């Protein structure tokens, strides 16, 4: 604890460098990211409210979609408000405590989302592979329990990189070459041997970005096998349509995370890492409401009913 306190006293605040090469376009990027952020908040909040207020959507698939929307709301809020402040005011300072709180929450929510995507793949697999037994396997209680486990798993496993990183002595520089507090930029400022920490962090990243996608891949192999056994073309098309949106999200989310956290560091480029971080931090929460729900017939009908109820109550 004494070492941590000395580090905090020495360092005080970090400086988030952000996107140095785009300084002259700061205001335009502020407007762009603000629009994305407001849309993300609004769309995901609408999904949660629609699922919660319409009993026709009280089934496992929409329960998990609402949980994903809730995670996405928090996931973008951990980093984007600070990015907007950085772009608008050019205030680059972030306190030592706030930096590591951001690091922990970002990884906790990210790992929780990885886990939830795996559970959603399992849910779709059970719905297609064993449709008759599905209601007895994936019950409301099971949905709540596995969702709680996803959150616990994410918040527990993220403790390891946090505790290993926060105890390091930071004395090289105050400048973080990123727009938020992430592992690689923080470790680059440490004046100590970080090899064991890199190994531990790589292990956590591998579990989150390799084993979970392999589980999802296994689920989709079973799904494709089951779809091929469906005799009618209409039935195959309907079954595949329920999974295609989830698969698109998985590919976008995990591919960008894999590049940042699993690809060897010597192959990284600082500016490229920032772009990939933007992709997996901002774009899945942005497009999930579209590819999962707002283009879904049941959700659109439920949304229309909710709007009609609201209009009737205002008369």
Residue 7 has pLDDT above 60, yes or no: no
Pair of tokens at residue 26: 């700061």
Predicted pLDDT at 4: 44
Span 40-54, mean pLDDT? 91
Q: What is the dihedral of CA 288, 292, 293, 297, to 10 degrees?
A: 150
Span 211-232, mean pLDDT? 84
- For residue 129, what pLDDT band results from cuts at 50, 70 and 90? confident
CA distances from 27 to 32, 89, 180, 278 (A): 9, 9, 18, 17
DSSP state of 269: -
User: 35: closest CA among 280, 276, 286?
Assistant: 286
Q: What is the dihedral of CA 12, 13, 14, 18, to 10 degrees?
A: -170
Span 278-295, mean pLDDT? 80
Homologous superfamily (CATH) of 2-310 is: Rhodopsin 7-helix transmembrane proteins (1.20.1070.10)
Query: Alpha-carbon distance 151 to 111, whole Å?
Result: 8
Residue 258 has pLDDT above 70, yes or no: yes
CB 179 within 8 A of CB 19: yes
- For residue 265, what pLDDT band results from cuts at 50, 70 and 90? low
User: 252: closest CA among 223, 207, 202, 216?
Assistant: 216
Pair of tokens at residue 158: 């993220």
- For residue 150, what pLDDT band results from cuts at 50, 70 and 90? very high
Residue 158 has pLDDT above 80, yes or no: yes
Label each residue of 130-198 as H, E or C.
CCCCHHHHCCHHHHHHHHHHHHHHHHHHCHHHHHHHHCCCECCCCEECCCCCCHHHHHCCECCCCHHHH
Q: Is the dihedral of CA 114, 115, 116, 117 positive or negative?
A: positive
- pTM attached to this predicted model: 0.86
Predicted pLDDT at 290: 80
Predicted pLDDT at 268: 61
Span 19-36, mean pLDDT? 87
Residue 6 has pLDDT above 70, yes or no: no
Residue 217 has pLDDT above 80, yes or no: yes
Maximum Cα interatomic distance, the chain, rounded to a whole number of Å: 69
Q: Is the dihedral of CA 149, 154, 157, 159 positive or negative?
A: negative
Span 127-155, mean pLDDT? 92
Query: Alpha-carbon distance 301 to 2, whole Å?
Result: 59
User: 146: closest CA among 54, 63, 50?
Assistant: 63
Predicted pLDDT at 191: 85
Residue 104 has pLDDT above 80, yes or no: yes
Q: What is the dihedral of CA 105, 107, 111, 114, to 10 degrees?
A: 100
pLDDT in tens, 161-190: 888 888 888 887 788 888 999 888 888 888
pLDDT in tens, 63-73: 999 999 999 99
Span 132-143, mean pLDDT? 92
Predicted pLDDT at 142: 94
Lowest mean pLDDT among 60-64, 152-156, 209-213: 209-213
DSSP state of 190: B
| Mean model confidence pLDDT for the chain | 83
DSSP state of 209: I
């Amino acid at each position: 604890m004494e070492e941590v306190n000395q580090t905090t006293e020495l360092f005080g605040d970090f400086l988030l460098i952000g996107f140095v090469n785009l300084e002259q376009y700061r205001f335009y990027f502020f407007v762009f990211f603000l629009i994305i952020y407001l849309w993300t908040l609004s769309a995901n909040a609408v999904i949660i409210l629609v699922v919660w207020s319409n009993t026709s959507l009280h089934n496992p698939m929409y329960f998990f979609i609402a949980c994903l929307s809730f995670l996405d709301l928090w996931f973008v809020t951990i980093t984007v408000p600070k990015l907007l402040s950085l772009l608008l005011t050019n205030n680059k300072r972030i306190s030592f405590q706030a930096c590591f709180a951001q690091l922990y929450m970002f990884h906790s929510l990210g790992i929780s989302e990885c886990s939830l995507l795996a559970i959603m793949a399992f849910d779709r697999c059970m719905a297609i592979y064993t449709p008759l037994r599905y209601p007895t396997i994936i019950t409301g209680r099971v949905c709540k329990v596995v969702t709680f486990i996803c959150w616990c798993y994410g918040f527990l496993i993220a403790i390891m990189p946090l505790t290993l990183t926060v105890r390091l002595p930071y004395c090289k520089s105050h400048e973080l070459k990123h727009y938020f507090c992430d592992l690689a930029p923080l470790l680059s400022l440490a004046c100590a041997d970080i090899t064991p920490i890199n190994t531990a962090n790589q292990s956590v990243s591998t579990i989150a970005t390799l084993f979970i996608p392999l589980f999802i891949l296994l689920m989709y192999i079973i799904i494709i096998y089951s779809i091929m056994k469906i005799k009618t073309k209409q039935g195959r098309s309907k079954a595949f349509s329920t999974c295609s949106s989830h698969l698109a999200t998985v590919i976008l989310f995990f591919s960008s995370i894999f590049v940042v956290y699993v690809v060897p560091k010597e192959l990284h480029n600082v500016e490229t890492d920032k772009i990939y971080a933007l992709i997996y931090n901002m774009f899945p929460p942005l497009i999930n409401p579209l590819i999962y729900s707002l283009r879904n017939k049941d959700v659109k009908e439920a949304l229309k009913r909710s709007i009609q109820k609201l209009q009737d109550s205002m008369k």
